[in-house]
Amino acid sequence: MKKEKYSIEFVMGNASQQSLWRMLTDSTMMEEWFAVKVRVIDSKFYTFTWEENVQKVEQTIKKPISQVRYSWLAEEREGTYFEFKINTLELSSEIALEVIAFSAPDEKDDAIFLWETQVELLKRKLGV
């Protein structure tokens, strides 16, 4: 089934860009909110483990303190990725996290709910 790209933005309040960046890119910090286990191989290949589910990605874009993209390596996920962008909101100067990802059209609501849940945990870990 064809996957569709979607984007959601989360206001991260007074979180520092540096702290948020570490939570999005450091394997130990990612284990705090994103996956049960995160392993890095050769600095750009990652293995994420959630219970019995193991997925491999390649970090294909890394612009320090602003953008990181993880491209899925599984055949059924070919051409898809998830990406984090750190933005500053113009009016309030608050930090915002944009999540760009892919899902099947009939799974989009569930995927967004999962991201909302994960980012809520991320916010708690950041003290936001």
CATH number at residue 104: 3.30.530.20
Strand order in the sheet with 81-88: 4-11, 95-103, 81-88, 67-72, 53-63, 45-50, 37-41
The Cα angle at residue 23 between residues 126 and 48, in degrees rounded to 5 = 130
Cross-strand bridge partners of residue 3: none
Mean pLDDT of the chain: 94
CA distances (Å), origin 23, targets 27, 51, 54, 79, 93: 8, 20, 20, 25, 20
Report how many domains make up the chain: 1
Check residue 4 and give its pLDDT.
94
**Residue 11: which pLDDT band, with cuts at 50, 70 and 90?**
very high
Check residue 29 and give its pLDDT.
96
Check residue 60 and give its pLDDT.
96
* Helical (H) or strand (E) element with 56: strand 53-63
Over residues 27-53, the mean pLDDT reads: 94
CA distances (Å), origin 44, targets 41, 69, 86: 6, 10, 20
State the residue range of the domain holding 120. 4-126
pLDDT in tens, 54-103: 999 999 999 999 999 999 998 878 889 999 999 999 888 899 999 999 99
C-beta of residue 48 within 8 angstroms of C-beta of residue 54: yes
Check residue 2 and give its pLDDT.
84
